[in-house]
Structure 1
Amino acid sequence: MTVLDPARSGQFRTAAQHASRRVPIAQRDELASHVLDAMRGQHYESAAAVAVLDGDRLVGLVTIERLLAAQPTAPISLLMDANPPVVASSTVQEQAAWKAVHHNEPTLAVIDEGRFAGLVPATALLEVLLTEHNEDLVRLGGFLRSASPAQMTTVEPVLRRLWHRLPWLGVGLVGALLAAGIVGNFEADLAEHVLIAFFVPGVVYLADAIGTQTEALVIRGLSLGIGVRRIVGREIATGALLGLILGGVSLLLVGSIWRDWHVALAVALSLLAAASIATVIALVLPWGISKLGKDPAFGSGPLATVTQDLLTVMIYLITASALVV
């Protein structure tokens, strides 16, 4: 019986990265007692199974439990699993780990062009499964890089939660005051044409809704490694088309119901402009916040909302004043 020196492949995220050659090795004609005697005093990275070789070719695996329970004179060839889970060195680590689990084996043999390359220890298999599970949660949750910050923010104490959220909401409060100031500047126009005020909430809401949809797509894309450049053109075009469709529908509805086609046109044009601008803002802010190393899930929503609201209110009131007054 022999022990092979450690050797690790430089491949990233493959079975070879986790394979260890410092494991018990036996020949198929050795006896169980000889294998156990040879294992004593040796330091292995994993001793959950003995690799049975014929030259440099793997012919089977024997679990340590079966080896300890065997008769001393039992040959290894009768104890081994002649069809153990085997993967190529280039196999993706997640596929390799699941193959070991499905075969109910404590380890996994790695083969490099037919030659034995090592065994993946049980601890490495568990680490791979946990890592891949963590990454899946990241993708589902729309977080960047790691789920650890997301998990921490979920269970963090109240004061910490306030620290993460209040600064962004403080920006929103300032924006609300600015929006009130903008509306105040059009007080005379609103007093003369009250109908204009009826549609401020609707125009603001639709612009926010379009921006929120874009933000969700951008944050999800960032978590999956999809850059903003890959979606910016299609998303801006989508925002403009949404504004065009919503504007056209509002033009017909407002004009037909309230019989004021000037206000209807102001609402329609404002929706077209606000939807296009909201899409751009929703694209830029999450990208910028992530570039600063911050989680866009906290900041992009409040910051984008207040920016969109200010611009939307300004666009609508200026348009309405120009067309109606």
Structure 2
Amino acid sequence: MLLNSQLVNDHITFETAAQHAFMQVPIVLPNQNAGEVRQMMAGRQYEIASHVVVCGEKGLFLGVIRIEDLFAAQCETLMGEIMDRKAPVVAPGVDQEVAAWKAVQSKESALSVVDQNGLFVGIIPPHRLLAVLLAEHEEDLSRLGGFTRSTEEARSTSEEPVQRRFQHRVPWLLVGLGGALLAADFVGWFEVQLQQNVMLAFFIPSIVYLADAVGTQTETVVVRGLSVGVEMKRMVMRELLAGLAIGLALAAVAGPLVWWRWGIPSIALCVGLSVFAACSTATLAAMMLPCLLNTLSLDPAFGSGPLATVVQDLLSILSYFCIATALLR
């Protein structure tokens, strides 16, 4: 665990490939032989010596030689003959995670940084690459769990005492309780319609449930998308269309089933339209609320669920009774 913490802390202040690169490395010319280079390196200390960098006279990067290949070469072997001319390189401004994954995909333990003019900038050593991969891995895992802040905050939230868990969660649930009472008022507004047709009450739980289920799916997708850096504009249209399609499909099933089971076409039409409206508005609410909380620097993992549920329930009940009022006069 100590190694884990040290590696993560090393990476915190770095973001680009150049910031991870070391310059104090063995640099040789292509016409030098292995014997000369080994003698040159003896007694000298480098920041990283796992690779020998081969450059032209003006610092133009030509390739690298693994230290094991250098020591295995005959004394008269020239560096230009054994260097890897296709060694993977990255530009100085490349994101650290991209650089680390390039090294992994190339099966290299270190990565050369070369500028746009082909000049050698430095080498990212193995421990830096490991630090980046470890930190990014932990960050991605915490984000996929619904946390949009740092790994340390995610871990702290998971390990916090009961009192803080209570303080973090209860305010949002109190909002939910207020929403539940408001939903009761909404139902009370349509007392006359319920008295005239008590069957309307039969379908309230079903419509509310479907809206919550559709909203939960959308909310999960959006929270995870925001957590891993997906822009909201890339998700909006797809989720809206998906919500409309899901609502239409559920309405097409619910309407005929209600008609077949209860034999009242007006009720069946009311339920079908209400399911479509509830699912569509639930998608919109579940998509917008996590984005709003994220913009306000509030963790969507705590707030978006209870708050979205309240909004979805209220919209579902309101749309259901408005449709019923219009159709069942």
Shorter-chain TM-score bucket reads 0.7 to 0.9
Q: Does 1:89 align with 2:90?
A: yes
* CA spacing shift, 1:277–1:34, aligned 2, 3 Å: closer
Output the amino acid matched with 2:90.
S
Q: Does 1:312 align with 2:316?
A: yes
Partner Cα separation in structure 2 for residue 240 and residue 59 of structure 1: 55
Output the amino acid matched with 2:25.
V
SS of the aligned residue for 1:247 comes to: helix
Cα pair 2:54 2:65 within 8 Å, conserved: yes
SS of the aligned residue for 1:199 comes to: helix
Q: Give the C-alpha shift of residue 179 in structure 1.
A: 1.8
Q: Give the C-alpha shift of residue 184 in structure 1.
A: 3.8
Q: Give the C-alpha shift of residue 140 in structure 1.
A: 3.8
1:127 corresponds to which residue? 131
SS of the aligned residue for 2:42 comes to: helix
CA displacement, residues 220-261 of structure 1 (integer Å, 9 cap, x when unaligned): 332243333333344334333433332233222112211222
SS of the aligned residue for 2:148 comes to: coil
Partner Cα separation in structure 2 for residue 255 and residue 45 of structure 1: 78
Partner Cα separation in structure 2 for residue 188 and residue 108 of structure 1: 74
1:294 corresponds to which residue? 298
2:269 corresponds to which residue? 265
Output the amino acid matched with 2:294.
S
* CA spacing shift, 1:308–1:88, aligned 2, 3 Å: same
Higher relative contact order (CA 8 A, sep 6+): 2
SS of the aligned residue for 1:109 comes to: strand
Structure with the greater alpha carbon radius of gyration: 1
Partner Cα separation in structure 2 for residue 33 and residue 142 of structure 1: 55
1:109 corresponds to which residue? 112
* CA spacing shift, 1:170–1:53, aligned 2, 3 Å: same
Output the amino acid matched with 1:219.
V
Alignment of 1:189-204 (within 5 A): 189-204=193-208
Counting aligned pairs with the same residue, the percent is 48
Output the amino acid matched with 2:248.
L
Alignment of 1:200-215 (within 5 A): 200-215=204-219
Q: Which runs of 5+ in 2 are unaligned?
A: 1-13
TM-score w.r.t. the length of structure 2 is 0.75
* CA spacing shift, 1:60–1:190, aligned 2, 3 Å: closer
Q: Give the C-alpha shift of residue 75 in structure 1.
A: 8.0
Cα pair 1:85 1:103 within 8 Å, conserved: no
Question: Which of 16, 19, 22 is the aligned partner of 1:20?
Answer: 22
Output the amino acid matched with 2:266.
H
Cα pair 1:20 1:45 within 8 Å, conserved: yes
TM-score w.r.t. the length of structure 1 is 0.75
Q: Which runs of 5+ in 1 are unaligned?
A: 1-11
> Across the two proteins, how many residue pairs are aligned to each other?
305
* CA spacing shift, 1:166–1:85, aligned 2, 3 Å: farther
Q: Which piece of structure 1 moves more, 149-158 or 81-90?
A: 81-90
CA displacement, residues 269-302 of structure 1 (integer Å, 9 cap, x when unaligned): 2223222222222222111111101111211111
Partner Cα separation in structure 1 for residue 212 and residue 65 of structure 2: 61
Q: Does 1:254 align with 2:258?
A: yes
Cα pair 2:251 2:275 within 8 Å, conserved: yes
Alignment of 1:93-172 (within 5 A): 93-94=96-97, 96-98=99-101, 107-112=110-115, 115-137=119-141, 140-144=144-148, 146-172=150-176
Partner Cα separation in structure 2 for residue 141 and residue 54 of structure 1: 49
Output the amino acid matched with 1:260.
I
CA displacement, residues 134-189 of structure 1 (integer Å, 9 cap, x when unaligned): 35425643543544433332232222222221111111111112222333444454
Partner Cα separation in structure 1 for residue 38 and residue 205 of structure 2: 81
Cα pair 1:254 1:264 within 8 Å, conserved: yes
Q: Does 1:35 align with 2:41?
A: yes
Q: Does 1:226 align with 2:227?
A: no
Output the amino acid matched with 1:259.
G
